[in-house]
Structure 1
Amino acid sequence: MSAAAEAGLRRILAVVDLLIDAVDEDTLVPALLPLLLGAVPGDSIVWSPRAGCADRPLTLPAGLLTEDIRDAFAREAADDCLVAHTTLGPGTPMRRSTLQTRGEFHALAAYADVYRPLGAEQQLAMSFPAGYAAGTPRKVCVAISRGGSDFSDDDVAAAALLRTRLSRVLNRLSPPPPPSPVTRRESAVLALLARGLTNQQIARRLAISPRTVDKHLEHAYAKLRVGGRVEAANAWLTRERTAVRLAP
C-alpha cells in the first residue's frame, strides 16, 4: 500500500472510530465534519438535515452559508441536478462533473448566487436516511466542495463506504417512535384479515359496514407502518406471537 493510500485509510478509520463511540447527534456532528473533510478532502462541507427536520445546515468552516446564500439556494435549487439527486434520487455519492459539464454548471442561476461565492467549483454530494425527527423520517444531505481539482474515484469510494455507516449510526441515535397500539376493534378486524377473510366477510362477522372495516384497516396500517393487507396480517400475527411468548 502506498503512503497516500495508507494515509487515506487512516482518515476513514478515524471517522469510523468516532461513529462507533457516538452517543448523541448534537455532539457527534461538530466532531464529525472535520474528519469527513479529511476522509474526502475538500475546502468546505455542508451537513443538511431534511425531510421533517427544521434544523439549519451545519457547515465547516462555520458560518459558511450567509442568509443571502440560503435564500438564493431556496429559490434556485429546484433547477440543480445534483440537488435533485440527493433530495429526490437515490442519494449515492455523486460528483457534479458526472451529471453536468462545467458550462452547464456555470449557466445555473445558483452558480452565481450560491456556488461561486462559496468557491465550490467541484462538488461531491450524497444523502442517506438518518432516523426520525419528531416522529417523521429524516434524511441528511452532505455536500463537500473544492475550488481546485475534481474529486477522484477513490474519493467517491470513500464517501460510499462512510455513507452506509453514517446512516446506520444516525438511525441508531434517532430510532422511530414506538407504534401506536391498535384498538380492540382494529385487532378484531386484523385477526379476521389474517384468516383470509375479505372486507365484506369481516363486516358481516363483526356486524359493521364494509366502509367501517376500511377505516379500521386504514388506521391499523398507519399504526403498524405497513402498506397493505398481507403486510398488515403478517405484522399482526408477529405481534400476537410475541405477546404469547412474553405472557407470564
Structure 2
Amino acid sequence: MAGEAGLRRMLAVVDLLIDAVDEESLLPALLPLLLRAVPGDSVVWTPHPDPVGRPLTLPAGLLGRDALKTFACVSSPDPLVTRTTSGSGTSGSGAPMLRSALRTHGQYHALAAYADVYRVIGAEHQLAMAFTAGYVGGAPRRVCLAINRSGKGGARDFADHDLATAALLRARLSHALNRLAPPTPELVTDREAAVLDLVARGLTNQQVAHRLAISPRTVDKHLEHAYAKLRVGGRVEAANAWRARALL
C-alpha cells in the first residue's frame, strides 16, 4: 500500500462491502470508492453472464452500444482481455494484471481494440482483474473489472502498490458479491437437463416430448421443477439461464 492515505481509501471500500445489503444499491456507491482506492480516470464493471447486456461504467455511459459491438469484434487478440476472462496465467485466475506487463506501449497501440475503443475512452494505462460473484442458473457468475488512466497531464502507469491494493480488494469484492447473491440453486436432474437443452434450442413442448419419447405433460413437470431450481419464473428466463450456463 502507498501510505496511510491509501490505506484509508481501501478501508472505505471494505466498510461499504461489509454494510452492503444488495448488489443493486452497492454498485453506484462502490465504483467511485474503487477509483479512489486504485486511482484512475474511469472504471468498467462487467458481469458475465449479464442480463442487462451492458457493463456498468464510471463515468456513466463510457461505453455505448456501438463501442460494445466493436469491442466484441476486435477484442479477441487482446492479451489482457483473454487473460482476465479466461483466468489463465501464472498469477492465478483473474488476479490483478497491468496491461504494460503483457505488451509494450507500441504493441498496445497496434491493437484494433486500441484505435476503436481504448483510445476513445481514454484507457492509456489499464489494470484489470476478475472474481466470482455468485451464480446464475447454477453456473458461476464472474465480474471483470478494469480501471483506466488516460495518461493526460503526465499520469503514469499503475504501480506495484496499486496491484497490491487491487489484490486485497479483489478477495473482499468476491466475498461480498457471493454473500449478496441468491442461494446456490439445486442441481437439475439429467432428464431436466435434457429438456432444458431442447427448450434452449427453441423447441416447443410437443417437439421436446417427441424427441425424448415422453408426454408433453411430463415435459411440463420437468420444466416446473427446473424453474424452481434455476430460480426463474418461466420458459424464456429458463432458456436464457441454461444458455448462459452452457457458455460458462
Q: Deviations over 1:17-76 (max 9, x none)?
A: 0000011000001110000000000000000001x3323200000010022211111101
Please point out which of 24, 48, 66 is paired with 1:26: 24
Distance of aligned partners of 1:66 and 1:178 in 2 relative to their CA distance in 1, 3 Å threshold: closer
Distance of aligned partners of 1:165 and 1:106 in 2 relative to their CA distance in 1, 3 Å threshold: same
The whole-number CA distance in structure 1 between the counterparts of 2:188 and 2:128 is 39
Partner of 1:165: 172
2:163 is the counterpart of 1:156: yes
Partner of 1:53: 50
Paired residue type of 2:10 = I
The whole-number CA distance in structure 2 between the counterparts of 1:102 and 1:152 is 16
Q: CA RMSD in A?
A: 1.9
> Which structure's CA Rg is the greater one?
1
Answer yes or no: is the 8 Å Cα contact 1:95–1:123 preserved in 2.
yes
Answer yes or no: is the 8 Å Cα contact 1:91–1:127 preserved in 2.
yes
Q: How does 1:1-248 map to 2 (within 5 A)?
A: 5-50=3-48, 52-55=49-52, 56-89=54-87, 90-148=93-151, 149-180=156-187
Q: TM-score, normalised by structure 1?
A: 0.69
The whole-number CA distance in structure 2 between the counterparts of 1:109 and 1:181 is 42
Q: How many residues align?
A: 181
Q: CA deviation at 1:182?
A: 7.8
Q: TM-score, normalised by structure 2?
A: 0.69
Answer yes or no: is the 8 Å Cα contact 1:135–1:176 preserved in 2.
no
Q: Deviations over 1:211-230 (max 9, x none)?
A: xxxxxxxxxxxx9xxxxxxx
Identity of aligned residues (%): 65
Paired residue type of 1:133 = V
The whole-number CA distance in structure 1 between the counterparts of 2:123 and 2:20 is 30
Distance of aligned partners of 1:58 and 1:181 in 2 relative to their CA distance in 1, 3 Å threshold: closer
